[in-house]
């Protein structure tokens, strides 16, 4: 049916297999469809009625045909093959994979029972794959993991002209990232609620292509039954959208603060990790900002305790504040800056974590991570 380089095939199979369901509602959905078209292109695809993925390759040789085999098994096999050309042949109800001296025989599945891949929505614009991947990773960290609250498990994408705003929240923190893109129409406007895990996986996988990512969606997209598509370097994927309902998050972002602290991100992360060793799962890391230092503490007099002092560039009123250490660490890991800036109002109001900037820079950071403090017992 076809011959193709092992590395090319393994990478394509791995990309397609990532969207296959672990526990399919019907067995055929665990399959991966391999087709050699009349023009000689090799297409690998998977679809579970929610997410589709397709890769187009140019095989060394190819004979038109189509077959359906277990996607996960094919991924494991291609990953383990030696670095030699791979021959894939269909004989009756079996597919034979040969590479060097290794030979595998797979059972095929009925192709006619496999659902057709959805068409891509109209192309809306393009963005650099590396910027797209890093921006999505920054925001997806705050998306909820509780499937009983589906509106909080997604990433909201708002597009107005050449500006894309990504936002996600799980009620305890909120991440917002603004970035520029190249829309097909200068007045393009749309809102989409994309499943967070799917978007994060897609952006990470497309980020390695080094090419631009084309985003495909309808400007009227806003219904729960809508769809969004992403494509880059011969790979394309679509996913169904969630209901667009989302908290009015812009009003949650404070614009005035009574205190600002700039710290070395790496030192802050290491100190929080050390102090948190004695923090029980739901107990916070406490911080006291005074002058040129911050005192980090965890634990109480009845249990193990930890204290560490860090130098800080601090401006404003002295403040005591406490955070869930895991949420704080995830925010620090997302800001992508050597200096972390923490802006606070009071010990009970949301704080904003961003990349540190010179004090006289009035421009808002492209990335903001809002984190709710934990109320300190008096």
Query: What is the predicted pLDDT for the residue at 245?
Result: 84
Nearest CA-CA partner of 173 in 150, 145, 199: 145
370 pLDDT above the threshold of 70: yes
Query: What is the predicted pLDDT for the residue at 257?
Result: 93
| 365 confidence band (pLDDT: 50, 70, 90) | low
Q: Are 172 and 144 in contact (CB under 8 A)?
A: no
CB-based contacts of 360, cutoff 8 Å, min separation 6: none
What are the helix and strand counts (H, E) for the chain? Answer: 6, 27
Nearest CA-CA partner of 143 in 213, 236, 242, 229: 242
Q: Are 169 and 193 in contact (CB under 8 A)?
A: no
- Rounded Cα distance, 308 and 311, in Å: 10
Query: What is the predicted pLDDT for the residue at 283?
Result: 82
Query: What is the predicted pLDDT for the residue at 1?
Result: 87
pLDDT of 37-87, one tens digit each?
Answer: 999 999 999 999 999 999 999 988 888 999 999 999 999 999 999 999 999
**Burial class of residue 116 in the structure, from the number of CB atoms within 10 Å of its CB (0-12 exposed, 13-18 middle, 19+ buried):** exposed
| 279 confidence band (pLDDT: 50, 70, 90) | confident
361 pLDDT above the threshold of 60: no
167 pLDDT above the threshold of 90: yes
Query: What is the predicted pLDDT for the residue at 221?
Result: 44
Nearest CA-CA partner of 314 in 374, 373, 258: 258
Mean pLDDT of the 349-368 span: 72
pLDDT of 309-328, one tens digit each?
Answer: 999 999 999 999 999 999 99
90 pLDDT above the threshold of 60: yes
Specify the 3-state DSSP secondary structure of 226: coil
100 pLDDT above the threshold of 50: yes
Q: What is the token pair recorded at 23?
A: 């526990």
Q: For residue 209, what is the DSSP state?
A: S
Residue 308 has phi, psi (to 5 degrees) of -145, 145
Q: Average pLDDT of the chain? A: 90
354 pLDDT above the threshold of 50: yes
- Rounded Cα distance, 295 and 297, in Å: 7
Query: What is the predicted pLDDT for the residue at 220?
Result: 57
Q: Are 354 and 341 in contact (CB under 8 A)?
A: yes
| 357 confidence band (pLDDT: 50, 70, 90) | low
Distance between the two ends of the chain, CA-based, in angstroms?
Answer: 73
Q: For residue 276, what is the DSSP state?
A: G
CB-based contacts of 203, cutoff 8 Å, min separation 6: 132, 133, 135, 136, 137, 213, 230
Q: For the chain, what percent of residues have pLDDT higher than 90?
A: 71
**Gyration radius of the chain's alpha carbons:** 25
Query: What is the predicted pLDDT for the residue at 223?
Result: 40
CB-based contacts of 71, cutoff 8 Å, min separation 6: 13, 16, 17, 20, 30, 31, 32, 46
pLDDT of 208-239, one tens digit each?
Answer: 777 899 999 876 544 435 899 999 989 999 99
Mean pLDDT of the 88-115 span: 94
Considering only residues 29 and 280, tell me which one the structure prediction assigns the higher pLDDT.
Answer: 29
pTM: 0.88
Q: What is the token pair recorded at 96?
A: 């034979």
Query: What is the predicted pLDDT for the residue at 215?
Result: 95
6 pLDDT above the threshold of 70: yes
Q: Are 346 and 323 in contact (CB under 8 A)?
A: no
**Burial class of residue 295 in the structure, from the number of CB atoms within 10 Å of its CB (0-12 exposed, 13-18 middle, 19+ buried):** middle
Query: What is the predicted pLDDT for the residue at 320?
Result: 95
337 pLDDT above the threshold of 60: yes
Q: For the chain, what percent of residues have pLDDT higher than 70?
A: 95
């Amino acid at each position: 049916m076809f011959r193709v380089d092992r590395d090319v095939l393994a990478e394509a199979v791995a990309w397609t297999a990532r969207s296959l369901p672990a526990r399919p509602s019907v067995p055929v959905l665990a399959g991966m469809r391999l087709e050699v078209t009349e023009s000689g292109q090799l297409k690998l695809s998977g679809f579970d009625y929610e997410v589709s993925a397709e890769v187009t390759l140019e095989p060394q040789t190819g004979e038109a045909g189509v077959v359906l085999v277990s996607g996960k098994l094919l991924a494991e096999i291609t990953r383990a093959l030696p670095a030699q050309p791979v021959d894939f042949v269909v004989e009756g109800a079996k597919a034979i994979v040969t590479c060097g001296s290794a030979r595998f025989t797979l059972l095929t599945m009925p192709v006619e029972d496999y659902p057709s891949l959805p068409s891509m929505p109209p192309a809306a614009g393009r963005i650099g794959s590396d910027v797209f991947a890093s921006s999505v990773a920054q925001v997806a960290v705050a998306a909820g993991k509780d499937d009983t609250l589906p509106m909080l498990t997604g990433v909201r994408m708002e597009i107005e002209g050449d500006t894309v705003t990504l936002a996600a929240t799980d009620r305890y923190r909120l991440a917002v990232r603004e970035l520029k893109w190249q829309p097909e129409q200068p007045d393009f406007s749309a809102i989409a609620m994309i499943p967070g895990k799917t978007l994060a996986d897609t952006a990470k996988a497309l980020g390695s292509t080094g090419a631009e990512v084309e985003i495909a969606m309808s400007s009227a997209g806003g219904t729960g039954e809508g769809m969004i598509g992403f494509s880059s370097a011969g790979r394309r994927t679509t996913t169904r959208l969630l209901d667009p309902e989302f908290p009015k998050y812009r009003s949650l972002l404070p614009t005035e603060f009574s205190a600002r602290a700039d710290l070395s991100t790496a030192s802050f992360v290491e100190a929080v990790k050390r102090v948190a060793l004695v923090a029980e799962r739901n107990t916070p890391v406490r911080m006291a900002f005074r002058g040129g230092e911050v005192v980090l503490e965890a634990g109480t007099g009845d249990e193990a305790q930890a204290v560490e002092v860090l130098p800080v560039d601090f401006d404003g009123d002295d403040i005591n504040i406490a955070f869930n250490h895991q949420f704080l660490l995830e925010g620090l890991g997302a800001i992508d800056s050597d200096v972390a800036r923490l802006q606070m109002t009071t010990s009970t109001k949301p704080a904003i974590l961003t990349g540190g900037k010179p004090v006289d820079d009035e421009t808002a950071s492209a990335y903001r991570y809002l984190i709710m403090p934990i109320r300190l017992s008096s």
